Amino acid sequence: MNLSIKSSLLLVPLQIRIDKKHYIVEDKISGEFYEMPEVCIAAIKLMDNGKTLDEIEHQLKEQYPNEEVDLLDFAEQLLELQLIAEIDGVKVEKEEKENHSLGYLWISSRLGKFFFNKTAYLIYITLFFVNVFVFVIHPSLFPNYKDLFIFDYMFLNIPIWMVVSFILVLVHELGHVLAMRASNLPTKLGVGHRLFFVVLETDMSLAWKLPSKKRNILYLAGLCFDTVILFLALAGQLVFANGPGIFLSILQVIVLDTFIRMVYQCCIYMKTDLYYLFENVSGCYNLMENAQQQLSKLIPFWKPAQQEEVMYEDEKRTVLFYSIFYLLGVGLTLLLFAVYYIPQLLFALKKVLPGFSQGMTTMPFWDAAIFTLQIVIGILLLLYSWQKKYLSSSIA
């Protein structure tokens, strides 16, 4: 396929929407989205008018004297992204892209709007501050790492925690799903990981169909539901203070798990919900990658994955600002490990390891053996999620 400066192009059907700083271009066939500056949009519109690349380049150099205009290079990028249908009237051969079908269309958009509207937003905000107030006046309700251990035998604690955590994660993701359906968008759930933790992920790729302000609630939806769960668990402990011990212990596990998940969202050196919110509010959609490249220049022993730096001139201050929160997020993660995860692990090991020295007919031995098996299964699930992520990215 001969692509030259004299070529005229026919592009695939595109939907173009203005965003906070630049434009979002949607490939209506593949459903993929791309961010482009104004000069690129002007070039696309001239291509639609049948002008050749050299004619477009000449016009744009006059129209945008401060921009670097290279239409042949831009056309090659469009070709690589499979956004060109024809070159000089000749159809372009394309690779078939994997179709990731989305669903949950059976969930009514009216149901989504019941949970996500102006009144609901006010309730979520109010409950957030109520939760903070409860922690202040009842510090005994603040989660402790020992809250995870309901029973003396460790192998009983893991299933309880897994069931509770799985239900809470589903509720969190249900928030994202309902927020997507409130905007009448399809979605799906998948399995991924953050650091050493297997997580569920809601596909919100079609959020780019919405204006920037409407995307914010999609990213905050999970935290909105977490806020409600935390409030109910705290209220339950206050109202049923003299209730059954097992009931109160499960409420403590819910508070612990939900609190950690909400704090974890602040670790925006990973692509958490608050990272996407930060990205969306700033209008800089390659924050993490650009920040990693900038920080690698200051930290010589750290080498992030090499990739082309895509950063506009007006984004440098935002990237620097985000880099500060990037490092703070790393510190917050270390704090979570120091306050919760490491003490939990040491406490559990202290309880189970002596069991291996006792006979196979004793409960402490089987407690240690089953607990170890549970840990191994958790590690295998983590390795599976890593393999799924990195194998698919290497193929791509």
* Each residue's pLDDT tens digit, 71-90: 999 999 999 899 999 888 88
Of 102, 63, 88, nearest in space to 183 by CA? 102
Q: What does the block give as tokens for 222?
A: 């999970």
Q: SS3 of 201, please?
A: strand
At 277, which amino acid appears? L
Dump pLDDT digits (tens) for 111-166: 999 999 999 999 999 999 999 999 999 999 999 999 999 998 888 898 898 899 99
C-alpha span between 156 and 371 (Å, rounded):
8
Of 188, 222, 186, nearest in space to 108 by CA? 186
Dump pLDDT digits (tens) for 360-392: 889 989 998 998 888 888 778 767 766 665 554
Q: What does the block give as tokens for 129?
A: 């501050």
User: What are the residue boundaries of the structural domains of the chain, listed by start?
Assistant: 9-91, 109-395
Q: What does the block give as tokens for 14?
A: 């595109």
- DSSP code for 341: I
Helices (H), the chain: 38-48, 53-63, 71-80, 109-115, 118-137, 154-182, 212-239, 245-264, 273-282, 287-298, 316-336, 342-352, 363-395
pLDDT in tens, the chain (396 residues): 578 889 899 999 999 998 888 899 999 888 889 989 899 999 999 999 989 999 999 999 999 988 888 999 999 999 989 999 988 888 988 776 655 567 888 999 999 999 999 999 999 999 999 999 999 999 999 999 999 999 988 888 988 988 999 999 999 999 999 999 999 999 988 766 555 555 678 888 889 889 888 999 999 999 999 999 999 999 999 999 998 989 999 999 999 999 999 999 999 988 899 999 999 998 888 888 888 887 877 776 666 655 555 556 667 888 888 989 999 999 999 999 999 999 998 999 888 888 888 888 899 899 989 988 888 887 787 677 666 655 544 434
C-alpha span between 260 and 254 (Å, rounded):
10
